[in-house]
Amino acid sequence: MLLDWFTVVAQALNFLILVWLLKHFLYQPILDAIDGREHQIATKLAEAEANKIEARKEREEFRQKNEAFEQRRATLWSSVEDEASLERQRLLNEARKEVEGFRNKWQAALSKEHQSLSEEITRQTREEVFAITRKALKDLAAISLEAQMTDIFVQRLLGLSSTERQELQSAFQTASPPTIVRSTFHLPAPQRHAIEAVAKDVLGIQTQLQFETDPHSVCGIELTANGHKVAWSISDYLITLKSRLDELLKQPPKPSVKPSGLSKP
Amino acid sequence: MHLSPDDTIIWQYGIFRLNTTIVATWGLMLFLIIGSTIITRNLSTALKRSRWQNLLEIIVMAILKQIEEVGLSHPRKYLSFLGTIFLFIALASLGTIIPGYEAPTGSLSTTVALALCVFVAVPLFGIEEHGLGGYLKSYLKPTFIMLPFNIISELSRTLALAVRLFGNMMSGAMIVGILLSIIPFLFPLVMSLLGLLTGMVQAYIFSILATVYIAAATRTRHVPSHSNPKVTP
């Protein structure tokens, strides 16, 4: 017998029991787990979407802030650059002025120094010239410098042309006394007499001459009265000497010649 | 040689006969219930889950998808019934790899019982969906002349369900038994593998036909019928 009705009923019951059991122990828990996971995933996706929107919003905010910051930075930088440029210009101007001032001072100091040096050279030269001349004259002809100077002064007066003599005579005769004879050194009595004599003869001066010594004046003898002056001095020689010295100083220095015996090994 | 495992009586008391079919069915039921209980005891709703949970989820979701594809709009309502049919028949066929095991689906009593369950379930689902009057009217469609043919169709398809499954399962076991006596090596193994495949196919066919019958009973008539999958054994 292929069909056993008891077995049929029992199997139908078994099957229905199995349906019920599997529903409670298999399908429902599995479906619940799947639903839970789907819900969880949906929640996470929603959260992710919300986070994404939030992130986008924050990114936009950040971008705007960044742009504002960049603009502010550019503005500040520009103003700082302008200020720095102005400050630089101001400092440069100050520095230029300062340099200009220093240069002017330096040039003035240099000029002053040059002048004092020139005066010193002139003075030294004069003294040296006098000393040399004095010694040379004394050694060669046993005559003094004062005598020679007086002699030259007298010779110069005597050597004047007649026109010059007339002009000088008219000038000194109209001049009010005293007539001053000024010399660098003290003139001895013979020289004074000689000058007085030639002044009387050549210039027609009748009044007593007044002799003065001025050690700071340019070396020589001068005769002055009321703005008129007849003089002889060594200033021409000194000017010539000074111009030659200046020319020598302006020349570039020549290279020094090494001694042959001192060459380095 | 016996044709059905019903013939092997283990215990009898009056009309109560405890045969191999019933015992094997109990064994399968125990296996299914204990296995399900163990796996579903610590189910995880997180993304990370156990392999067994994953397996069960795949099976359940595949059954649901299949039911939905046939045309049932609320597949979860029918999952318990149709899913159990498939799992029971498939597991009964899979058990044939155990030596000495006789599939309860190789018994006509079991297949008839399953077919009767489908036979009862189809009108119940139909009545639940359309009401008693609405369901009974479906037997008069398209004309009242079709009423006897519809009733015959109901009965014959139930009989066909039962006999198809029984024939396939029984034939597989019979072929293996016969071949074992003729060619004891290798060939019965190949046939056994073929029987395993046949069992799986039969599990699918039985459950999908049950789904189609239920879908036909619960579907509203204006829905085009060409969406029904044409399943032929």
Distance (Å, whole) CA A138 – CA A152: 16
Q: Do B32 and A18 touch (CB under 8 A)?
A: yes
Q: pLDDT of A144-196, one tens digit each?
A: 777 878 888 888 888 888 888 888 788 777 766 678 888 877 888 888 888 88
Domain-embedded: residue B232: no
Contact at CB, B6 and A16, closer than 8 angstroms: no
Per CB-CB distance under 8 Å, the chain B contacts of A38 are none
- Name B87's Cβ contacts closer than 8 Å, sequence gap at least 6: A22, B32, B59
List the domain range (segments joined by +) for residue B105.
5-227
Strand partners, A221: A183, A232
Distance CA A66, CA B116 (A): 77
Q: Is the pLDDT score of B178 beyond 90?
A: no
**Cβ proximity of A233 and A219 under 8 Å:** yes
The CB-side HSE value for B114 (13 A sphere, CA atoms) comes to 32
Contacts of A48 in chain B (CB under 8 A): none
Q: What is the DSSP string of A63-74?
A: HHHHHHHHHHHH
For residue range A115-133, what is the model confidence (pLDDT) as tens digits?
888 788 777 877 787 778 7
Q: What residues of chain A, 3 to 22, have a C-beta less than 8 Å from chain B?
A: 3-12, 14-22
Condensed to tens digits (0 to 9), the pLDDT of residues A194-245 reads 888 888 888 777 777 888 887 766 667 888 777 777 777 777 777 787 778 7
Whole-complex ipTM: 0.89
User: What is the predicted pLDDT for the residue at B231?
Assistant: 45
What is the rounded CA–CA span in Å between residue B39 and residue B35? 6
Per CB-CB distance under 8 Å, the chain A contacts of B85 are: 15
Query: In chain A, positions 111-170, which contact chain B (CB-CB < 8 Å)?
Result: none
Domain boundaries, chain A: 143-248
Q: In Å, how far is A50's CA from the nearest CA of chain B?
A: 21
| Cα separation values, B13 from A106, A192, B205, Å | 144, 193, 36
Task: Choose the closest CB to B36 out of A17, A20, A25.
Answer: A25
CA A156, A159, A164, A168 dihedral sign is positive
The pLDDT of residue B110 is above 70: yes
Report the pLDDT value the prediction gives residue B70, as an integer from 0 to 100: 92
pLDDT reported for residue B2: 66
Domain count, chain B: 1
Question: Cβ separation of B117 and A36 shorter than 8 Å?
Answer: no
Q: Which residues in chain B are contacts of A30 at CB distance < 8 A? A: 40, 43, 53, 56-57, 60
The H or E element that residue B73 is part of is none
